[in-house]
Structure 1
Amino acid sequence: MTRHGVLRALPANRRDRFMALAKEVSFPEETRIAEEGSPADRFWIIHTGNVALDISVPGRRPVVVETIGMGELLGWSWLFPPRLWHLGAEATSPVRAWEFDATAVRELCDEDPVLGRALITYIAHIIADRLMAARTRLVDLYGPYRAGAIHR
């Protein structure tokens, strides 16, 4: 169980309290798990499968910005007001996951500040990593040294 990043990030003596809130779920391939702009009232830890994170583009299909898989946390928007999904999410293969009710986890974090601090620190790292990955993709797409760019 502790192979999952978020569980490794929590103090060992707090993991059982956190996992008591988990519910096992599965999503068939091509299932929309979250829609950008809709209420973020839950999150998941992926057991198996892959999920594409995407952004809505008017007049086009959503644009995939990242793919996540086993052991990764799907969703952090539940933690911060206005608690709306910043990205959409779609299963790109059959997915099994632990699902957590966001309100229950926020209440647990309030009751147990040590667990709360560990969870928020872990989520801050995820946000930072995803921001850096997005930055790298933007530099690749629009930077002065992208493939085919003219150098002067």
Structure 2
Amino acid sequence: MLIRNFKPTDQHDVIRLWNKCRLTRPWNNPILDIKRKLDGQPDWLIVAVDASAIIGSVMVGYDGHRGWINYLAVDPDHQRSGIGRELMLEAERRLLHKGCPKISLQIRDDNEEAISFYESIGFSRDPVFSFGKRLIPDAPPYSPDGG
């Protein structure tokens, strides 16, 4: 397995992985999410590749105050083999290199498997509520089958 930076030719396979892992939602267009990441921090969209197939991804962000993790995905056929842990170690390495003091992330409250994973690698629940406000709608709504 190789961990490397995302390449534009990876887009289709990465979105297919996100769909397979059920990370996409109709109100978040993954094509736009990738474009926005590449426009802002292109070296912080990371993929795991095995025999030229994309089997994992993580989108890392740093705003000068906190590091953020989005789209951590491992192909279900490759889960529980250490790929998610390796992707997170690479994310942490890059964030530490920038002097990032803390990583934050959001998990849907019904995703017990993800909660268990993050707890197993040293994350703990912060006593906070997560709020959001959309400034730019991703229109048209994204559909995993056609978008």
TM-score (norm 2): 0.26
- Higher alpha-carbon Rg: 1
* Higher-strand-fraction structure: 1
